[in-house]
Amino acid sequence: MSAELHGDELIARRRLAASAERVWTAFTTPAGIAAFWGGSHATVPPESVEVDLRPGGEFALDTRAPGGATRRLRFVYVSVVAPRELVFDEPVTGLRSTVTIRPDGDGSDLIVHQRHLPPELRTAQAASGLTSILEALDLHLGRTRNTMWSR
């Protein structure tokens, strides 16, 4: 996995041992989002996640830091092309994220491309945070695959 910062853009790539449909479900359902969005630096209470999966619809969630501080995040979907691409904006900062999922054999290639990063997010720490989130996604997909196979 790599995360590269280029000016006001951050691009992360990861190979996942999960189908495009499973990756899509993780990015588009409350349970999936809650399972990985906080990465290693925050938790997301499942009951805080709201998803209206359509262009113009929103998804929102609370992140809770280890010290207990909670922050509400809100995003607006620009484009929804199941199960290949999601584009969503963060209205406060203007940050635009494009999530591209490409089937590849028995897994998927994932690209997360963030554009228009505000200056406070043009940091190695932001790149590390995105890496952490995608690592948590990979772990979540591994757990859900194992749960599905054990039935």
30 vs 41 pLDDT, higher one:
30
| Residue carrying structure tokens 């028995």 | 106
Please answer whether residues 23 and 16 qualify as being in contact, where contact means their C-beta atoms are separated by less than 8 angstroms.
yes
Q: Note the pLDDT of residue 145.
A: 57
Please, how many CA atoms are within 13 Å of residue 114, restricted to the half-sphere of its CB?
A: 23
Mapping DSSP onto H, E and C, the string for 77-140 reads EEEEECCCEEEEEECCCCEEEEEEEEEECCEEEEEEEEECCCHHHCCHHHHHHHHHHHHHHHHH
What is the C-alpha separation between 93 and 107, in angstroms, rounded?
Answer: 33
In the chain, the domains with their CATH numbers are 2-149 (3.30.530.20)
65 vs 145 pLDDT, higher one:
65
